[in-house]
Structure 1
Amino acid sequence: MNEIVIQNLMSPVVLFFVLGIAAALVKSDLAFPKALSDALSIYLLIAIGLKGGIELANYSIESVFAPILAALFLGGIIPFLALGAMKLIGMDLKNAIGIAATYGSISIVTYGAAVAFMDQTGTSYEGFMNALVVLMESPAILVSLLLLKVLENKNELSGYAQRAGFVAFPSGLIDKEVIRESLFGKSVLLLMGSLFIGWILGESAIPAVKPLFIDLYGSILILFLLNMGLIAGQRLPEIKKYGVKLLAFGMIAPLVFGTIGVLVGSLIGLSLGGTALMGVLAGSASYIAAPAALKTSVPEANPSIYLGLSLGVTFPFNLIIGIPVYFEIAKWIQ
């Protein structure tokens, strides 16, 4: 397990994120043009959606219907729970939405480490879990952006900022414009549209998309994380006002959400390995898909908070503690 931890923490994407933070802290003149920054986000959203759709096409709808419903449930409920925690911390709306989207979405790298853990322990799991990985990246982003649009649609937004509380949802609050902006905003549109295209075309799409969206994915992800590191480093001082509370959230939230994921996996009848992996997915936090969506849809949200917390606290916490804990909980339940 120690080798997995070191391997992931010393990966190029993590180290380039750290390099970006360092460059910002020493006030380097390194900067990404806005057009390039936007292009990197667009690329990642398309690549993630395509890969998930192609993987999902390998299975019949009947075989993955219950797991898909479970993934949608987790992607829908976790943002609300994260938003509730942010209320207790006293965080402003935009950054609270950033946390909700980040922790509702998932970490592919954490999932990869969990699969390696399953292999080491000789634990089998359902093959369609690989398809759920990408499928679970989207619902939380959609739910979080919808929540943002709903809250922004009413004058109570200023009250939210002052009270660090939540506004009531009066009748008629969710109008057609709110739904349209949430469903067809560029981040959700690209992610879900690419997922649908990959699912429809299946493996026949691989020859066309492989050179750009599969082969170059890792290298372009490095550029994206370098840019996010620059942004996070520039806004790092803003995170100090939340202090220990935010740090505690980064370690407690994964255990809470992961336990919920294990319970859901057990309820839908997954194997021990599948149940544990569902817990890993629910307990992980995104540092790719959600930040790419937030970068374009909620630019006011501070990456130092949502990305720094997910990558700097929850990611290593899950690698060291979370994965074996979710596995043990799954064993106990089953």
Structure 2
Amino acid sequence: MDILANFAGSFLTQLQSPTLAFLIGGMLLAAFGSKLTIPDAIYKFIVFVLLMRIGLHGGMEIRDADLTALAFPALISAVIGCLCVLIGRYSLAFLPKIQFSDAIATAGLFGAVSASTLAAALIILEEQSVAYEAWAPALYPFMDIPALILAIVLATLHKRRANPESGGPVNVVQIIVESLRGSALSALILGLLIGILANPVRIYEEFYNPMFRGMLSILLLIMGMEAYSRLAELRHVAHWFGVYALLAPIVHGLVGFGLGYVAHVLFGFSPGGVILLAVMASSSSDISGPPTLRAAIPDANPSAYIGASTSIGTPVALAVGIPFFIALAEIVFQI
């Protein structure tokens, strides 16, 4: 009982984070019909700055890191992304009134990673003084890309089986290239390369790092407003998408936490790194995923997979997943 009481107290404390308050504030603004709007160009600029900051920081640390320490977490990140897609493939896709393309696109989105959720987790871990490997955020593409590729391959194979004359073999290389060209991964990888190959300490400390928290708060405000507005779209598709979006962040996050714990036992992966791995697994892509899946699985209904992710999955991952996995780590690792 003491463990449960400690867990409940820790969980409630995490929910009071000022970072998460902006997400809830955005949802409240939309619920009360506020006319506040933030231009799309500003949203894209904020996302770019956040991902560049994450990439630069990770790249500078990778340059001085032991790459053997990074190898196993990178491998299990790819495994987690694929497992999350397979969970959706063998659960959501079998439910009544669910189109396979809609299910697999949703699974792909929930298997990929949300840059905003990752950024929020980094801020909250810093607020809580929880240490993690500085290169841990660089695990993002190792989970994101395999999840999207697997979802696209599964959707394409299913379509080919249903209609053998619909095309030739699946071009996995092209899928990888298109994923890497996406705006989110392009910014993150550029930051990583600059951090590894150059010496961007001054611009990082004078521009990217000081702006990180403020820009993240605006991004979460935008996401809160969009999440509420997407609820109307979600009502027009099967209710199973809502159930999946509620459960998937926690189930996927537990998969990430479990495999992260294995990395902790075998290779000394830090508790903070395990938390970040769980948070990335619990998140659903809000930047790289939607345009990639729209282009690659055109017959999937965006109201289903984007609506489920934006209106339910992301708020659950942010407001429930992050505090839940921090509280769980406090019990497991005694931090």
Name the TM-score, length of structure 2 as normaliser: 0.74
Asked if residue 210 in structure 1 is aligned to residue 205 in structure 2, the reply is yes
Asked if residue 232 in structure 1 is aligned to residue 232 in structure 2, the reply is no
Taking the TM superposition and a 5 Å limit, the aligned residue runs for 1:36-51 are: 36-51=42-57
Out of 36, 39, 43, the position equivalent to 1:33 is: 39
Helix, strand or coil for the counterpart of 2:37?
A: coil
Name the TM-score, length of structure 1 as normaliser: 0.75
Structure 2 unaligned runs (5+)?
1-5, 94-101, 295-301
| 2:262 aligned partner | 263
Question: How many residues are paired up?
Answer: 300
Taking the TM superposition and a 5 Å limit, the aligned residue runs for 1:1-334 are: 5=11, 8-59=14-65, 64-87=66-89, 88-90=91-93, 92-102=103-113, 107=118, 110=121, 129-151=132-154, 156=159, 172-201=169-198, 204-237=199-232, 238=234, 241-268=240-267, 270=268, 274=269, 276-285=271-280, 290-294=285-289, 297=292, 300=302, 301-302=306-307, 303-320=310-327, 322-327=328-333
State how far apart, in whole Å, the 2-side matches of 1:323 and 1:117 are: 12
Helix, strand or coil for the counterpart of 2:133?
A: helix
State how far apart, in whole Å, the 1-side matches of 2:168 and 2:264 are: 34
* Distance apart, 1:266 and its partner CA: 2.2
C-alpha contact 2:77 2:143 (8 A) present in aligned 1:
yes
Deviations 1:238-275 (A, max 9, x none): 2854455543433333333211211133233x2xxx35
* Distance apart, 1:70 and its partner CA: 1.3
* Distance apart, 1:14 and its partner CA: 0.9
Percent of residue pairs identical: 20
C-alpha contact 2:179 2:288 (8 A) present in aligned 1:
no
C-alpha contact 1:97 1:148 (8 A) present in aligned 2:
yes
C-alpha contact 2:252 2:278 (8 A) present in aligned 1:
yes
Change in 2 beyond 3 A, CA 1:207/1:185: same
Deviations 1:283-315 (A, max 9, x none): 223799943434665574231233122113322
* Distance apart, 1:220 and its partner CA: 0.6
Change in 2 beyond 3 A, CA 1:312/1:306: same
State how far apart, in whole Å, the 1-side matches of 2:160 and 2:331 are: 39
| 1:165 aligned partner | none
State how far apart, in whole Å, the 1-side matches of 2:221 and 2:140 are: 21
C-alpha contact 2:113 2:281 (8 A) present in aligned 1:
yes
C-alpha contact 2:282 2:321 (8 A) present in aligned 1:
no
Helix, strand or coil for the counterpart of 1:31?
A: coil
Deviations 1:25-51 (A, max 9, x none): 222212222222222222222121111
State how far apart, in whole Å, the 1-side matches of 2:111 and 2:11 are: 25
Q: Which amino acid aligns with 2:75?
A: F
Helix, strand or coil for the counterpart of 1:228?
A: helix
* Distance apart, 1:323 and its partner CA: 1.0
Deviations 1:132-182 (A, max 9, x none): 3222222112223333544565671897xxxxxxxxxx9941344223212
Range with bigger deviation, 143-152 or 11-20: 143-152
State how far apart, in whole Å, the 2-side matches of 1:3 and 1:74 are: 31
C-alpha contact 1:103 1:310 (8 A) present in aligned 2:
no
Change in 2 beyond 3 A, CA 1:51/1:276: closer
Deviations 1:107-144 (A, max 9, x none): 4655676788897xxxxx8xxx4223222222112223
Helix, strand or coil for the counterpart of 2:277?
A: helix
Range with bigger deviation, 177-186 or 105-114: 105-114
Helix, strand or coil for the counterpart of 2:288?
A: helix
